[in-house]
Amino acid sequence: MDTFSPIGIFDSGFGGLTVLREIERLLPMYDYLYLGDNARAPYGNRSFETIHAYTLEAVEWLFRRGCHLIILACNTASAKALRTLQQNNLPRIAPDRRVLGVLRPVTERIGTMTLSGHIGILGTVGTVESRSYVIEIEKYFPKVVVTQEACPMWVPLVENGEADGKGADYFVRQHVERLCNADPLIDAVVLGCTHYPLLERKIRRFLDRRIAVVSQGAIVAESLERYFSRHPDIERRCSRGGERMFYTSEKARIFEGPAALFYGREIRCREMRFS
């Protein structure tokens, strides 16, 4: 085994830091290597082919850095690229390594979070169009009714520091109302995008109080802990030095400023290039 074998955390940009934050809160002892593909973000409106190609490049880069386990901490990449990576690419490039996504941890529990059996998904255009949440939830909870709403303005609002601004109210309200009007029986709403926890306060303001808001980070972290207990062979391959490393495909200064918003503290990051 490589001595330094961090858990790879991949996102199109900053958003995966909201997931890493929760994972390391629960599992601080492991080494983590974060890669944000900021130079090519956002992924939300891109085609399946492009998202798959970009995600594969990132996964290969993280494997070369010693990762044996990678979490795609990006809903769009998990929704559009994960299955093809697992079924077509991994068996050829790294059959003994693993890539996991952020959809399944939520979908396998969502049925226990609703009383009405009606849930809502808020996500990027890519995530919603892939219907991955709908398909996954149907496998575990075939009776649960799923309604989706794409919110294309929300990622740019967050990335431009407008999450708490007055201007964001209009767009948050618009999508929250559309979702709830489409199915008034919804009693749980999944924040199906890494950026949305930063809008959570506003989202709650426009949602009826009886509706639960489901954020992914903590659920993904608990799911990873359970995964390790089911797969001790993979767990043993993840090194435990408590180290954090951050890379971006953009300029470091472009990543470092907003990163603190998502991660909750300042970070220093390094630059990488896809060759």
With contacts defined by CB under 6 A, name the span among 10-18, 110-118, 183-191, 225-233 that binds ligand DGL.
10-18
- Which residue number, 70 or 237, has a Cβ lying nearer to ligand DGL? 70
CB of 233 to ligand DGL, least distance (A): 29
- The separation between the first and the last C-alpha atoms of the chain, rounded to the nearest angstrom, is 25
b/e per residue 238-269 (b: at least 16 CB within 10 A): bbeeeebbbbbbbebebbeebbebbbeeebeb
Q: Contact 181/155 with Cβ under 8 angstroms?
A: no
Q: Is residue 15 close enough to count as binding ligand DGL by CB under 6 A? A: yes
Backbone angles phi, psi at 45, to 5 degrees: -105, 5
Query: Measured at CB, which residue is nearest to ligand DGL?
Result: 44
The pair of structure tokens assigned to 98 is: 């693993």
- For residue 107, give the 3-state DSSP assignment: helix
With contacts defined by CB under 6 A, name the span among 169-177, 188-196, 199-207, 266-274 that binds ligand DGL.
188-196
- Which residue number, 42 or 120, has a Cβ lying nearer to ligand DGL? 42
- Which residue number, 237 or 262, has a Cβ lying nearer to ligand DGL? 262
Each residue 63-92 as x (binds ligand DGL by CB under 6 A) or -, in order, gives -----------xxx----------------
* CA 220/CA 182 separation, integer angstroms: 28
Number of residues in contact with ligand DGL under rule CB under 6 A: 17
Query: Of the candidates 68, 80, 97, 195, which one interacts with ligand DGL according to CB under 6 A?
Result: 195
Q: Contact 147/182 with Cβ under 8 angstroms?
A: yes
Angle among Cα 183, 210, 169 to the nearest 5 degrees reads: 75
- Which residue number, 22 or 235, has a Cβ lying nearer to ligand DGL? 22
Q: Is residue 127 close enough to count as binding ligand DGL by CB under 6 A? A: yes
Q: Is residue 11 close enough to count as binding ligand DGL by CB under 6 A? A: yes
* CA 264/CA 244 separation, integer angstroms: 14
Q: Which residues contact 170 (CB under 8 A, 6 or more apart)?
A: none
Catalytic residue flag (residue 74): yes
With contacts defined by CB under 6 A, name the span among 36-44, 204-212, 236-244, 252-260 that binds ligand DGL.
36-44
Of 67, 151, 180, 193, catalytic: 193
CB of 116 to ligand DGL, least distance (A): 26
Backbone angles phi, psi at 17, to 5 degrees: -65, -25
Q: Is residue 124 close enough to count as binding ligand DGL by CB under 6 A? A: yes
* CA 51/CA 218 separation, integer angstroms: 25
Q: Is residue 155 close enough to count as binding ligand DGL by CB under 6 A? A: yes
Task: Spell out the alpha helix ranges (H) of the chain.
Answer: 16-26, 48-64, 75-80, 82-84, 90-93, 103-107, 125-130, 132-140, 154-159, 167-182, 200-206, 216-230, 232-236, 252-263
CB of 119 to ligand DGL, least distance (A): 18
Catalytic residue flag (residue 269): no
Residues known to be catalytic: 74, 193
Q: Enumerate binding residues for ligand DGL (CB under 6 A).
A: 11-13, 15, 41-44, 74-76, 124, 127, 155, 193-195
